[in-house]
Chain A
Amino acid sequence: MRDMVKDKNSLTLEEVKHVAKLAKLNLSGEELLKFQKQLSGIIDYINKLKEVNTDEVEPTSQVTNLENVFREDEVKPSLTQKEVLSNTNSSYNGCFKVKAIFQE
């Protein structure tokens, strides 16, 4: 089945680094090289979709055919503040504490 791949399309190391940055993953030099090779192989495989004529085909983003699903806007019991914070190591005054995003 893999023989059917026609287009060789490999990722550059720069592209792999860029994708890791977008995904907020810290990868070692060795990992970057490994994923460059593996991802290129997978991209080669998925490029076989180019064979399919999809002119005038609508894309499918979900399969339920449901639209505009609403519920009543009612107040219901929910988790307490203590419960919400029960899994964090980083809270302050009943809130999650995060690193500053803006600098002065």
Chain B
Amino acid sequence: MELYQLSLKELIEGLKDKKFTRKEILVSFYTRIQKINPIVNAFLTVIGGNNWNDKEGELSGIPVGFKDIYVTKDIRTTAGSKVLENYIPQYNSTVVQKLVSKGATIVGKTNQDAWAHGSSGENSDFAPTKNPWNIDYVPGGSSSGSAVAVAAGMCPVAFGTDTGGSIRLPASFCNVVGLKPTYGRVSRYGIIAMASSHDSIGHFTRTVYDNALILNMTAGKDPCDATTSNTNVPDYTKNIKNGVKGLKIGLPKEYLAKGIDPNVEKIFKQVLQKYEGLGAKIIDISLPHTEYALAVYYIIQPSEVSSNLARYDGIRFGNDRNRFGQEAIRRIMLGTYTLSAGYYDAYYLKAMKVRTLLIQDFKKAYEKVDVIITPVSPTLPFKFGEKTDNPLAMYLSDILTVTMNLAGVPALSIPGGFVRGLPVGFQIVGPNFSEDLLYQVGYAYEQVTDWHKQKPKL
């Protein structure tokens, strides 16, 4: 067993027991990155050499990757866009600062769809990331590089952002664990804004336990982000082994409606059986406004995008607006249109009202059940180029994930199996600030399956 194959927990424990050294860990991961990154393009910037963080802390000797949308002091930060190809930030995002102050070593900045606009990773203005399970297939997006970096053993932890599914979808396509936390649980400060009322700051790991360990370090109030919550931050690993016996798991009928690939549905039904076997009760529920969620999302999100991207004028930093790629232009145009005089009430205001109904759907559901589970993607990972000519088809990839961002609720994507060698995940969705429960539910499943132990052959 190579060190790069170990989980975060195994690395931390092995260091404590002096089985190996910090240097041996970092060398193992760097060697792996040098070998694998040219094949999969997971990193846009690799910080090589001996640039190791010598700060003492819980994460000393642990390599981490950050999506290139997290600003990193003195390390180029592009958001996957040519507009920012030469941007060198003067400060760290809160999450980066928290990890660095605990001793973590930043091994690189990961590839992504430019500005986090995309479901496949193909919208990177540099080069697309490839799925380590089959490099003819997309890894999912927009946090494509971070999912692949963890899946392919290039770092045990990598950070992403989830505005409409951008952590959960690539986690599902790459067989890793991905968390979209409750909106306001983790600080957005220093993370280049996509759609500010949806942007959720989460991370990828190989196991559920590792994921909880990292949330312990990133969650909490930040004076630099007024939308972060004062809600108590528990130890997310504390109740993780409590199991699911007697737990009520909601199965929303709208998420298994037509349009779901039968292969995905088959895997999902096996997941449900596992949970029943573990003593959980599966309860049929309805989230009646689900079919409108994607339309709501494609009004509010581009509106917020058009506003956030208005600041890129090439004066204070970055290049001018002529360097925006086609997807960024499409969303700026769409958002500018739906916010423009004469259309605001018909689109933006209407969408904000339906958003209220979507939130109420979840509130009513949680009166009956503890958590909800659904598939993450309606399809298997798809091939490069399959959806690039049809933006609406690409947008439909997020049909099962956007609702949680509109409602603000947390969701955890977990490996659920394989079809023809391609991974399929499922998501556990809870009420606001129930991440500890999501980990408990995810952990129970992980203990009776070995999907998370499977590694791509690269």
Contacts and interface: CB of A to CB of B under 8 A. Distances in A.
Interface string B267-304: 00000000000000000000001011011101100000
Contacts of A88: 315-317
Interface of A: 1-2, 4, 11, 15-16, 18-20, 22-27, 31, 35, 38-39, 41-43, 45-52, 54, 57-64, 66, 69, 71, 79, 83-84, 86-88, 90, 96, 98
A49 B295 contact: yes
Given A39-B337, A79-B90, A58 B356 contact: yes
A38 B326 CA distance: 11
Given A23-B333, A62-B197, A38 B391 contact: yes
A49 B197 contact: no
B15 interface: no
24 contacts: A15-B337, A19-B336, A23-B332, A23-B336, A24-B321, A27-B329, A35-B329, A39-B330, A39-B334, A43-B337, A48-B292, A49-B350, A52-B353, A54-B354, A54-B357, A57-B353, A59-B349, A59-B356, A61-B352, A69-B226, A79-B90, A87-B86, A88-B315, A88-B317
B355 interface: yes
B28 interface: no
A26 B374 CA distance: 42
A20 to B, nearest CB: 7
A103 B330 CA distance: 33
A87 B87 contact: yes
Contacts of B396: 1-2
Given A41-B392, A42-B298, A46-B347, A84 B90 contact: yes
Given A35-B333, A45-B295, A86-B90, A1 B354 contact: no
B229 A60 contact: no
Given A64-B408, A66-B227, 10 more contacts: A11-B337, A42-B391, A48-B291, A49-B296, A57-B353, A60-B353, A61-B197, A66-B226, A87-B90, A96-B315
Given A26-B322, A54-B353, A57-B356, A46 B333 contact: no
Contacts of A52: 289, 292, 350, 353-354, 357
B399 A1 contact: yes
Contact of B295 (A48, A58, A59): A48
A49 B289 CA distance: 10
A96 B322 CA distance: 20
Given A59-B356, A83-B90, A86-B90, A54 B350 contact: yes
B193 interface: no
A83 to B, nearest CB: 5
Contacts of A38: 330, 391
Contacts of B392: 2, 41-42, 45
B317 A87 contact: yes
Contacts of A27: 329
A6 to B, nearest CB: 12
A41 B352 CA distance: 21
B351 interface: yes
Contacts of A64: 183-184, 227, 229, 408
Contacts of B356: 57-60
B163 to A, nearest CB: 13
Contacts of B354: 49, 52, 54, 57
Contact of B292 (A25, A43, A49, A96): A49
A85 B324 CA distance: 23
Contact of B318 (A60, A69, A87): A87
A103 B259 CA distance: 58
Interface in B316-345: 316-318, 321-322, 324, 329-330, 332-334, 336-338, 340
A62 to B, nearest CB: 5
B219 to A, nearest CB: 14
